[in-house]
Amino acid sequence: MVIRHKKNTAYYLALPMVDSATPESFKTGLTVTDLAYYKDGAGAWSSLSITDTFAEIGATGIYEIDLAAAEMNHDQVIIKLTAAGAADSFVIFEMDSIEIDDIPTTAMRGTDSGALASVCTPARLEELDQANLPADVAGIPTTAMRGTDDAALASVCTEPRLAELDQANLPADVAGIPTTAMRGTDNAALASVCSAGRLSELDGANLPADVDTLKTRCSEARLAELDPANLPADVAAIPTTAMRGTDSAALASVCTEPRLAELDAANLIADVAAIPTTAMRGTDDAALASVCTAARLEELDPAKLPTDVNAVGTIASAIEAICTEPRLAELDAANLIADVAAIPTTPMRGTDDAALASVCTAARLEELDPAKLPTDVNAVGTIAAAIEAICTEARLAELDPANLPAVTDSIKTKTDALPASWQMADLAAVPAINASIVQALNWIYIICRNRLRTNKTTKEIEVYKDNSTTKFAERDIDDDGTYFDQGKFGAVD
């Protein structure tokens, strides 16, 4: 039971003691013992000594006690009640620093009648009444704000100024825009720039796309360079000074008539005919026949190029990973003598005759014989084939956790259809110590399921068959006051 109470305040407590034999009744005539603990904040529970003792109220089975204020000056208090012949009871006190009765009832400052009367006057309430809003608006002072008097307004809002802002005067304002041609906008200048094509480029409908293109590609300087109107000036501005190395002497030494004739397409046939036909060293018939065999030419077939290139790429990657500069240096024939000389001659640990003899036996060396490699590989293939036959897609799917419910159901289905010899049945006798698992399980099943009877006269536990009338096993039992002994199950005496 939980009781909320004001901290550091005495409390009168009365609790019933329930009869442990008849819980529906209170127990009278008890000597009640209390066990109390207190706790403050997040601290640990500590033992609390209660001065008063519980005393029964008449013969009601209800017991009372007075708890002092000092005993209740904690955040939490627990009191447990115990007595012989009664169920244990307890109460928890949750302490509050203030209760409702402690809240002041004195009117808040400024809420007394006098204060309210000075604020909520009929006139004040009337000002807030929505029905008086028009009158309130009308009552707003009309005295001109500082700077809005006639003289100030007259200096700004003149008739001409107001006329400029009048929408009705807009046509006249537009007509009053000067028509004098701006510098560079005379007919000749406009004709050179505002051509039909140029105007089409500037069409508002094309503007978004044009602007995007111009922003990404054309700066203003670049556009000016490409303006057709500027082309004559641009051409005229091209330097006429000969580039270094392009003077007549330099060109004459390179672009000779014979040289230009060689590059002339019309001379191509003669040039091809002039190519020497003398066989290159190693390209005579015998040399070609030894290299350009049918098999070799087939390897160079363009149709096989992708496959060959992929294979070369793979081989090249492998070669690159192995044939590093340091590695190639190690294999350099020039370094071989020094490398061999640097090989330590001290026998490695475990390479003495005894150690080698224990490892390099004739049988072991025979296993490593290269001649047996095909047989070994075939054996690996056979094992791989066996693994492949077992680890099928369907078999692996059965082991998939996602398929576990279905597999479990399948196992259950198979288990329900066990062989007849596996089914439970009456046994003719107690199974021997070396009985089969099925017989052992059958015996445990009978002990847990069938009728068992303890015979007080014969001091035996009797085991019956499924019909509950035929006894087929029994065990002796004995109690000498110190040990209760059960013998081994055996046949019926």
Q: In one letter, which amino acid is 83?
A: A
User: Tokens for 5?
Assistant: 């109470």
- Give the β-pairing of 76-82 and 89-96: antiparallel
- Number of C-alpha atoms within 13 angstroms, CB side, residue 24? 0
> What gap in Å lies between CA 381 and CA 375, rounded to an integer?
10
Q: What is the CATH number of domain 2-98?
A: 2.60.40.10
Task: State the DSSP string of 291-338.
Answer: HS-HHHHHHT-GGGHHHHHHHHHHHHHHHHHH--HHHHHHH-HHHHHH
pLDDT for the residue 146: 63
User: Tokens for 359?
Assistant: 């490892």
Burial zone of 256 (CB within 10 Å; 0-12 exposed, 13-18 middle, 19+ buried) = exposed
Residues 129 and 38 sit within 8 Å (Cβ to Cβ): no
Cα 90 off chain centre by: 50
pLDDT for the residue 215: 65
pLDDT for the residue 216: 65
* Span 233-271, pLDDT tens digits: 777 777 777 656 666 676 677 667 887 777 777 787 777
Q: Where are the beta strands (DSSP E) in 127-228?
A: none
Among 423, 425, 430, smallest CA distance to 449 is for 425
pLDDT digit of tens for each residue in the chain (493 aa)?
899 999 999 999 999 999 999 999 999 999 999 999 999 999 999 999 999 999 999 999 999 999 999 999 999 999 999 999 999 999 999 999 988 888 777 665 656 677 667 767 888 777 777 777 777 777 777 776 666 667 766 776 778 777 777 777 877 777 777 777 666 666 666 666 667 777 676 676 776 776 677 566 656 777 677 777 887 777 777 777 765 666 667 667 766 788 777 777 778 777 777 777 776 666 667 766 776 677 877 777 777 766 765 665 666 677 777 778 887 777 777 887 777 777 777 766 666 677 667 777 788 778 777 777 677 667 766 766 777 777 788 877 777 777 767 766 766 566 566 677 788 999 999 999 999 999 999 999 999 999 999 999 999 999 999 999 999 999 999 999 999 999 999 999 8
Q: Where are the beta strands (DSSP E) in 195-343?
A: none
Range(s) of the chain covered by CATH 2.60.40.10: 2-98
Strand partners, 463: 452, 473
∠ Cα 340 344 349 (to 5°): 140
Helix runs in 368-456, H state only: 373-390, 393-398, 404-416, 437-449
- Dmax of the chain from CA atoms? 146
pLDDT for the residue 192: 65
∠ Cα 140 146 151 (to 5°): 110
Q: Return the DSSP state at 324.
A: -
pLDDT for the residue 312: 58
pLDDT for the residue 184: 60
Angstrom distances, CA of residue 80 to CA of 35, 46, 296:
5, 14, 104
pLDDT for the residue 472: 93
What is the side-by-side strand order in the sheet with 33-39? 2-6, 89-96, 76-82, 33-39, 46-48
Q: How many Cβ atoms from other residues are within 10 Å of residue 246's Cβ?
A: 10
